Amino acid sequence: MTALMHLLDQYGYIVIFFSLMLELIILPIPNEALMSYVGVLSFQGKMNIILATFFAGCGAAVGATVSYWIGYKLGAPFFKKYGHYIHMGPEKMETMEKWYKKYGKILLIFSFFIPGVRHIASIISGVIKLPVRQFMVFSYIGLFSWVSTFIFLGYTLGPKWEEYEGEIKKWLVLASILIGMVVLCYFVLKANRRYLKEALWLIFDATFKRFKSFLKIKLLILTILALFVTFFTLMVGMVQDFISNEFVHFNTIVGTIVFSLFNPHWQGIMNGIYHLSSWLVLGIIALLTVIGIVVNRKHIGLELLFFFITLIGVFVFSKGIHWLFQFLFQGAHISSDFPNAPSMYLLCTLGYFLFMLIRHHRNYQFSVMTTLFFVIILAAYFISGTYGHVLPSDLIAGYVFSAVWICGMFLALETFRFLSILKKEDK
């Protein structure tokens, strides 16, 4: 990258042109950083920003057009046979072909902002024989948008580019993830729109036209929704306090209380309680949950599906949250264990097990006793964790984050259960 910038200082616009052209003919060049540097040079008066954008856009357009004709002339059979040598194997080609046949024009505009996708976007357009005029219009719009974004970003920041480069890259990564999630949700919703319309109509009909029917399940769904909103609001507040580092006094006070109440003689008991979040204990609870679902014989497939989604999801959620906080606040004096992962796993695994018990036993006293038992277990685990020098704020955060996830799963589970009941009744 340093050598490329040195060439840019010497030969200017020619380097911009050929660098962008070569990248779009499948040559890995870090052109986002290069274009941002071009913006900095333009700010310093060493280059003209209009000419720089023009040459960069033209170079990218030439490279994309060459790639298009390569794909057009060689066709799908060639890339399915030899594409794996350049990371364009049959599976990747087939996936991209399906996407481009459905959403080709719009996808082409945004594909140049995504590393790894922009390198093959033009080739795929050629392979599927996208009309050349349509390719030029939509790809050139995307190319010039991509080029101008990074050049003007560098120009706007000027000499402060190096100071903010790290932060900008962070937010670009987060923005890419967010856009990817939005696009994925869009495709999922579009693919299932018939089912969603039918489901929404059934829920609307059962809620407003048949208000007095299914009151128990409606009340259950409403209660879970209220809990989800409550815990989500609490989670947002805890994140704000975490960023502001406002848990210091809370941790000090709670730690002092716990250590004043429980002397060193409690060490063995505390260790035993804290091992409730061990993989062995969690595995036993998970096995009991599966057995309970199978024995109950009601909506077995649905309950097992959501149980496994809950377990896998909380693991991914905890890892993702930790990565996000470490990524955003690297070097800051904050806890690396916020939220505490073992407490998240315990609440989700034990919470699902006890929810199934309560859900399938219509006894009010049993439900109250089970809920009380759950609260006592969580309280005991919180004390044992604090006794073992885990920050109380991390433990509480683990409970709250996990509660958001599991309430979301329960909400989805009961909604699907409600829909299946409505469909059976309509038949």
Q: Please state at what angle helix 161-191 crosses helix 300-328, rounded to 10 degrees.
A: 170
The segment with the largest mean pLDDT, out of 8-17, 127-136, 366-375, is 366-375
Measured distance between the N- and C-terminal CA atoms of the chain, rounded to whole angstroms: 66
**pLDDT band (50, 70, 90) for residue 131:** confident
Which domain-ending residue is among 148, 174, 197? 197
Among 130-134, 263-267, 398-402, the least confident range? 130-134
Does residue 332 sit in the same domain as residue 226? yes
Residue 321 lies in a domain: yes
Residue 232 lies in a domain: yes
What span, in angstroms and rounded, lies between the C-alpha atoms of 64 and 40? 26
Residue 89 lies in a domain: yes
**pLDDT band (50, 70, 90) for residue 93:** low
Residue 3 reports pLDDT greater than 60: yes
What span, in angstroms and rounded, lies between the C-alpha atoms of 255 and 238? 19
Does residue 360 sit in the same domain as residue 243? yes
Q: Which two tokens stand for residue 163?
A: 């100071």
Q: Which two tokens stand for residue 192?
A: 């299932």
Among 44-53, 189-198, 221-230, the least confident range? 189-198
Type and span of the H or E element at 388: none
Does residue 225 sit in the same domain as residue 352? yes
| Arithmetic mean of pLDDT, 61-66 | 91
pLDDT at 213: 54
**pLDDT band (50, 70, 90) for residue 31:** low
pLDDT at 309: 93
Does residue 324 sit in the same domain as residue 363? yes
> Amino acid identity, residue 276?
L
Residue 203 lies in a domain: no
Whether 347 and 282 have beta carbons less than 8 Å apart is answered as no
* Distance from the Cα of residue 67 to its chain's centroid: 32
pLDDT at 102: 60
Does residue 170 sit in the same domain as residue 261? no
Residue 40 reports pLDDT greater than 90: no
Instruction: Identify the residue with better confidence: 267 or 188.
Output: 267
Residue 350 reports pLDDT greater than 90: yes
Type and span of the H or E element at 239: helix 215-243
* Distance from the Cα of residue 148 to its chain's centroid: 28
Does residue 148 sit in the same domain as residue 69? yes
Q: What is the pLDDT of residues 301-329, one digit of tens each?
A: 889 999 999 999 999 999 888 887 877 77
Q: Residue 87: how many CA atoms within 13 Å on its side-chain side?
A: 7
Which domain-ending residue is among 158, 188, 222? 158
Interacting residues of 269 by C-beta distance below 8 A, sequence separation 6+: 384
User: Counting beta carbons within 10 angstroms of the beta carbon of residue 133, is it exposed (0 to 12), middle (13 to 18) or buried (19 or more)?
Assistant: exposed
Domain count, the chain: 3
Q: Which two tokens stand for residue 286?
A: 């998970």
Q: Residue 320: how many CA atoms within 13 Å on its side-chain side?
A: 11
pLDDT at 300: 87
What percentage of the chain reaches a pLDDT higher than 70?
Answer: 72
Does residue 116 sit in the same domain as residue 51? yes
Average pLDDT, the chain: 80
Residue 202 lies in a domain: no
Residue 334 reports pLDDT greater than 80: no
Entry pTM: 0.63
The segment with the largest mean pLDDT, out of 95-99, 194-198, 356-360, 376-380, is 376-380
Instruction: Identify the residue with better confidence: 202 or 36.
Output: 36
Does residue 390 sit in the same domain as residue 316? yes
Residue 37 lies in a domain: yes
Does residue 334 sit in the same domain as residue 409? yes
Does residue 331 sit in the same domain as residue 392? yes
Residue 211 reports pLDDT greater than 50: no
Whether 417 and 306 have beta carbons less than 8 Å apart is answered as no
Residue 380 lies in a domain: yes
Q: What is the pLDDT of residues 133-151, one digit of tens each?
A: 888 888 888 889 888 888 8
**pLDDT band (50, 70, 90) for residue 199:** low
Residue 171 lies in a domain: yes
Does residue 120 sit in the same domain as residue 251? no
Interacting residues of 223 by C-beta distance below 8 A, sequence separation 6+: none
Q: What is the pLDDT of residues 243-281, one digit of tens each?
A: 778 888 889 999 999 999 998 889 999 999 999 999 999
Does residue 265 sit in the same domain as residue 354? yes
Q: Can you give the residue range of the structural domain that contains 43?
A: 2-158
407: how many CB neighbours lie within 10 A of its CB? 21
Q: Which two tokens stand for residue 236?
A: 């947002």
Residue 285 reports pLDDT greater than 70: yes
Residue 400 reports pLDDT greater than 90: yes
Total residues belonging to the chain: 427
**pLDDT band (50, 70, 90) for residue 336:** confident
